[in-house]
Amino acid sequence: MELKVDFIKRENEDYLLQMLDYIKLKLKESVDDLPSTETIHWADGLLLVYSITDRRSMSYLKRVGTLIADSDIPVYIVGNKNDMVHLREVSAEEGAILARNFECGFSEVAAAEMVVPVAVVFQELCRAVLAARRKSKHSLLERMLGTRTSNLRLYARGKSDSALPKD
């Protein structure tokens, strides 16, 4: 009887360990998955965040970079956890070089410590998004409808309108 119980326990243990391996694999997959083209085109701007204590997160960002290299989507790069410099695996210079390649803003922050630098990052990205929109003259509505300004006939008050009766 004791043997049987032991056998069942072991069998369950194996099963649990297999499940754990499977969960780890799935988690790794989802962490390493690159964003879909659909997601990239949906976004108005991209905030690319890596951890200065995790080289893998920087490698991931570089792979994302190849995906968005041809798009003109506004980007901002953030190196997080700069309160943990003793565990640093990515230099600030490497982050800055990546930002230069993207021609975008870059800063290191400690999201867990100070909120203001994080707010500034979002502000900067919003600025870049607005500037890009002004440049391309695509409104958010147009992007949602999948239309372009050139296809829409907007009414603009002309000079001759002032000569017309008010009502």
Ligand X SMILES: Nc1nc2c(ncn2[C@@H]2O[C@H](COP(=O)(O)OP(=O)(O)OP(=O)(O)O)[C@@H](O)[C@H]2O)c(=O)[nH]1
Select the residue whose beta carbon is closest to ligand X and give its number. 112
Q: Which residue type occupies 18?
A: Q
Interaction residues for ligand X, span 3-42 (CB under 6 A): none
Least CB distance to ligand X at residue 82 (A): 7
Q: CA 110 to CA 98: how far, in whole Å?
A: 19
What percent of the residues of the chain are helix, what percent strand, and what percent coil, each to the nearest 5?
A: 60, 10, 30
Least CB distance to ligand X at residue 51 (A): 7
The verdict on 110 binding ligand X (CB under 6 A) reads yes
The verdict on 80 binding ligand X (CB under 6 A) reads yes
The verdict on 84 binding ligand X (CB under 6 A) reads yes
Show Cβ contacts of residue 51 under 8 Å, excluding neighbours closer than 6 positions. Answer: 57, 79, 80, 81, 90
Least CB distance to ligand X at residue 57 (A): 8
Please identify which residue in 81, 99, 107, 121 interacts with ligand X, judged by CB under 6 A.
81
Least CB distance to ligand X at residue 31 (A): 6
Identify whether the C-beta of residue 77 lies closer than 8 Å to the C-beta of residue 51. no
| Residue of 126, 39, 35 whose CA lies nearest to 74 | 126
Query: Site residues (CB under 6 A) for ligand X?
Result: 80-81, 83-84, 110-113
